[in-house]
Amino acid sequence: MAFLTISLLRLEYKQVESDTQKLKKEVESAVRLLDIDSLTKQLNELNNESRLPDFWEDSNNAALIMQKIAKLENRIKPWRDLEATIKYLDELSNLDDENIKQEIVKDLEQSNKDFLSLKQQLMLSGEYDDHGSIIAISAGAGGTDAQDWTQILFRMYCRYFEKKSWKYTIVDESPGEEAGLKSVVLEVDGDDFIYGKLECEQGVHRLVRLSPFNADNLRQTSFAKVEVAPKIASPSEIDIDDKDLKVDVYRSGGHGGQSVNTTDSAVRVTHIPSGISVAIQNERSQLQNKEMAMTVLRSRLLQAQIEQHTQKLSEIKGPNQSAEWGNQIRSYVMHPYKQVKDLRTKYETSDIEGVLNGDLDPFISAYLESNLNASVN
């Protein structure tokens, strides 16, 4: 009996050694995919810069660098700690000591849990995934129904941001003539890989329902376009030549208070080579509107550059995907049945009320997992 117990223990410890080697290989693969070595090099360079005697003379730039250092440390340290733990367990597994090997079993179980948690970062390893985001929602084909659909989507995203405790600000909005919104632009900030998670929302969203704006209550299909870009607040992240910009100022209209339309405070900034244009009139001053317009423009130009695989801003073409049939990424059906289906991942649910109240995590997770599987395979 004693011999059998010892034999079983040896089999268990052999399995532990095998599991340790397997986890070691998986962590090494993840570290390569995340390019932790390159991130470590960036961190070292930024730390060296922060030690220079004149570092704090430009306080704004210094603050940005310290933010980058903190983000890099948060991303790198857990992986380096896990690597060190597995290396230590690997060394201990060669020792013929029952007490030590029992400890290895416990530590290996914890390391596996840590790895599963960290593994989510593989889905959010893009260069700008940890940035905030600029989201623009605009009505497409469908008339008043499309404008109402735009407002429904706006409410859906706001509910989602609130559930995630993300801060959002309405940058600009244009109300519909009868109902809803023609367009709305949002700025979203937080510490939770916002752009990386929201990127999958970019595209055309299709709604099928019995129209509340139709006297015969007929079924209506309407479309809205969602554009998502990483928030680029710092001019150093994307260099735009001033000669490529056209800046127009005009008198604000619509909501905004008593003095909003008494001065030429609204600003439209156009990037001439691409034709991409941003108009902002929400703020009281022309300077504030121009700063926000430039943030949105930088973000849209970077997103276009990523999508079009161009090296130069001058080569970017303006966006051309229209919000209509054939371009949708997700369908929301309220009649004759209830279903929300993502056409890229095939993930679907019948809980359309939950989705429109901000339950978007299953769709986002399905998209991230699909992208991860595609990159690994």
Long-range contacts of 171-176 (CB under 8 A, 24+ apart): 171/134, 171/280, 171/282, 171/292, 171/296, 172/279, 172/280, 172/281, 172/282, 173/282, 174/254, 175/254, 175/255, 176/139, 176/144, 176/147, 176/148, 176/150, 176/151
Predicted confidence at residue 285, as pLDDT, reads 81
Q: Which domains does the chain have, with CATH numbers?
A: 2-124 (1.20.58.410), 158-172+188-228+319-376 (3.30.70.1660)
Instruction: Work out the number of other CB atoms within 10 angstroms of the CB of residue 370.
Output: 17
pLDDT attached to residue 319? 62
This prediction's pTM: 0.73
Q: What is the pLDDT of residue 30?
A: 85
Task: Note the pLDDT tens digit of each residue in 135-152.
Answer: 999 999 888 999 999 999
What H or E segment, with its residue span, contains residue 70?
helix 59-92
Residue stretches of the chain with pLDDT short of 50 = 1-9, 11, 255-261
Q: What's the confidence (pLDDT) of residue 192?
A: 76
Q: What is the pLDDT of residue 252?
A: 67
Q: What is the pLDDT of residue 330?
A: 97
pLDDT score, position 19: 83
The reported pLDDT for the residue numbered 83 is 92
348-361 pLDDT, tens per residue? 999 999 999 999 99
- The pLDDT value recorded for residue 281 is 83
User: Distance between CA 273 and CA 140 in Å, rounded?
Assistant: 25
pLDDT of residue 371: 79
pLDDT for 258 equals 42
CA–CA separation, 240 and 263 (whole Å): 28
pLDDT for position 6: 37
User: Do 217 and 148 meet the contact criterion of CB atoms below 8 Å apart?
Assistant: no
